[in-house]
Structure 1
Amino acid sequence: MTEQLSEAERVEALDGLPDWDNDEARDAIVRGFTFDNFSQAFGFMTQVALIAEKLDHHPEWSNMWNRVEIVLTTHDAGGLSGRDIEMAQAIDALVE
């Protein structure tokens, strides 16, 4: 079973993810993305979906025309885990 990050691990991980916001109420991290149009947003979501399948870790997300919001938390662990950090890093690599 996947375990939540310790407080020290959480601080270190979030320092390396400056574009992600900490959602303490949900014990999750959140990031919004804005694209030029729906096609670009949908293409990005497709790329994230392929990463999610490979990592077997699926985000909560929403899409409204050119915007995508992603929430990462590990339900099995009851909060933020290393799996979320790995997923966030992979997502960030798509937009760098």
Structure 2
Amino acid sequence: MEKLSERTIQERLDKLEGWEYVDGAIETTYQFGNFREAFSAMTLLSFECEIQGHHPDWTNVYNRLTIRLNTHDVGGVTEKDFTLAHSIEELVQEAGRPV
């Protein structure tokens, strides 16, 4: 897996609403109606992460879920991160977009 250039990362982020490049990773934050909704989303997303063999750095504080993706093996963002980010977006939209 090859580390993407910052220019390529920025170009790909144009296709991911709400995601940004911060400190060597792509990240986003979702806000849900309550803790149960946020934790349910994490549970749903965890199955896709496991299927892809790619596990995000994420935090959940009450109704907020912050997700950071980078490929630790190469020390940066790769195609693998964007593949998972797009999957996350699809799953979150199918489940009902957070507030």
TM-score (norm 2): 0.86
- Match for 2:52: what amino acid? L
Q: Residue 62 of structure 1 corresponds to which residue in structure 2?
A: 59
Q: Does 1:53 align with 2:50?
A: yes
Structure-2 separation of matches of 1:70 and 1:7: 19
Q: Which runs of 5+ in 2 are unaligned?
A: 94-99
Give per-residue Cα distances to partners, 1:7-30, cap 9 Å, x unaligned.
45323311111210111xx21111
Structure-2 separation of matches of 1:48 and 1:73: 16
Structure-1 separation of matches of 2:41 and 2:8: 28
Distance 1:75 1:37, change over 3 A: same
Structure-2 separation of matches of 1:63 and 1:12: 28
Q: Does 1:9 align with 2:1?
A: no
RMSD: 1.2
Q: Which runs of 5+ in 1 are unaligned?
A: none
SS in 2 for 1:50: helix
TM-score (norm 1): 0.89
Counting aligned pairs with the same residue, the percent is 41
Q: Residue 21 of structure 2 corresponds to which residue in structure 1?
A: 22
Q: Does 1:43 align with 2:50?
A: no
Structure-2 separation of matches of 1:50 and 1:95: 13
Tell me the matched-pair count: 93
Give per-residue Cα distances to partners, 1:46-86, cap 9 Å, x unaligned.
01110110000000000011111000011111100001000
Query: 68, 90, 93: which is aligned to 1:93?
Result: 90
